Amino acid sequence: MTATLSDQIAQCALNHYHTVLPSNGGKPQSTEWTVYAAIVACRQHPNDSNDQDELWVVSCATGSKCTSIRPVVSSLPTQTSQKQGRKRPHSDLSSEVDDDKICACYDGMVLKDSHAETLARRGLMAVLWDEVENLLQNEPTPRPLLEAISASESRQQFQLRNDTSLHMYISDNPCGDATIYRIKKSSSNSTDQPETSINFTGAKIILSDSNGQSVVKQDESISSTLTCSSAADTVITVGREDVQQLGALRLKSSRSNIPSHLRSMSMSCSDKLVRWGVLGLGGALLSMYIPNPIVLSSICVSKDPRAVDGNADLGQLDALRRAIKERIECALMSIAEKEKGWNVNPPEVAVVTDVFENSKSSSEFRHDTKMNALAHNTPNNKGRVKKESVCGMSINWHQTIVQEAANAEVTIGATGLKRGKKPKCPTDVINTASRLSRYHFALRCGKRDPVSSKTETDGHYSSYRKYKQITSTHLLTRVATLALSGGGPLAGWVRSSSQDDFELPHE
């Protein structure tokens, strides 16, 4: 990827944030920071055309939080709406579905991971579902991404258009391994050769998986250990490092004083980008319509103003290459030895000069600058500059027929639900579930393919986990098994436990 294209991708993403996303709620305030990510499509014009390639934002999101499902679900209402004398609001569920069955879907209605990269990817999934539905009904799609390929025995299938590629812009290096790079010390006053330190990732390194198998060697670099448990049969050991290990799998950061059963078990964004770079962005449910993996052609990140310039060892760009591109290459080489026909290329990575002013790194830089100024002007002053706080809300947007700011949705990172009034009955919860939740994607898939949503005992209800197993292609299942096991860069991946599963009602 040329520097010119990466700059254009960043400019397209940032212009979209400032001109399209609404400013009346959800965006960080002056004393807050967030992470912004966007998936940008690039459509090449024919070789004989003098026109520039077309760039546009397919999906984007802000975000910085993740949540544990258990405390959120336990706080949601369980009483029947009839006892409260409430009229059922309109929803995707028929009036015959009782509240107990709605409550059984709660786990799927909560967004576990509200980091910007994850929400932007889920927005792309929503766009792909919209287009699949339009293509199957012979309806037009604005700026289509897909084209038809040979139909299988049971259904029409599609792939990414040959003239179109997808790219991701991120305002900060993705959390986890990609954030381990060299930065200038805040106390350094020298501009020629400033003192440096290694940026510390708060993401917890995974020491052992749910089977008790060691994932990385535990040595003197691990200062303390913690456990995370999403269910009685799923306990993960994680650690805090004095000396950070490179290339390790990590869970997203959280406070060390949180009880183990209340911790989020979401993988870091660095690791998720590696997984998407190997298995594709579409996921299991879409694979029955889009069998060939759709991957990012490039990832560009805004320059951290604290980062050491150049391509030095442990530089910002070096961290992106190590944590994302090289790990994807390693995983693909391992897969190619055992599974033929999985044609995926790793993304190019770049650091661009365009800066998102509300980013985490910009916030840290402003804080360090103020602290240095305070120490220089009043050396005996022991006062401190207040740090900017993280924005608790997330905005997600993706292209639809209506290309306006009204298409944006605001969710609360701590609850994984849409911003709004507290739900008072189960059907209220349906209306607070994000359109990017697992529940809504599974519901869309069930409407599109109702036969695969049935079970032997009940023709209308299915487990989400079983549903994914039914819809996922055999090739994707085999490749996923190879990628997440065996000693490669994704070996030791924390899989969803049985508690994260949920039953799905269908109309």
Give residue-wise pLDDT tens across range 260-288: 777 788 999 999 999 999 999 999 999 99
Q: Is the dihedral of CA 292, 297, 302, 304 positive or negative?
A: positive
Q: What is the pLDDT of residue 360?
A: 95
The residue with greater pLDDT, 233 or 224, is 224
For residues 141-169, give the mean pLDDT.
Answer: 89
Mean pLDDT of 29-58: 89
Over residues 467-479, the pLDDT tens digits come to 888 888 889 999 9
Q: Kindly tell me the burial class for residue 102, based on how many C-beta atoms sit within 10 Å of its own C-beta (0-12, 13-18, 19 or more).
A: buried
Q: Span 109-128, mean pLDDT?
A: 96
Distance of CA 107 to the CA centre of its chain: 18
Which backbone phi and psi does 166 adopt, to 5 degrees?
A: -115, 140
Distance CA 84, CA 50 (A): 65
**Which pLDDT belongs to residue 1?**
56
| pLDDT band, very low/low/confident/very high, at 223 (cuts 50, 70, 90) | confident
* Span 291-299, average pLDDT: 96
306-320, 376-390, 396-410: segment of lowest average pLDDT: 376-390
Q: Decide if pLDDT at 233 tops 80.
A: no
**pLDDT band at residue 157, thresholds of 50, 70 and 90?**
very high
Q: Are 62 and 455 in contact (CB under 8 A)?
A: no
pLDDT over 60 at 443, yes or no: yes
Instruction: Compute the average pLDDT of residues 58-65.
Output: 95
Which pLDDT value is given to residue 16?
96
Question: How high is the mean pLDDT of the chain?
Answer: 85
Q: Alpha helices of 153-307 — where are they, by DSSP H? A: 269-279
Give the mean model confidence (pLDDT) for residues 381-393: 83
pLDDT above 60 for 20: yes
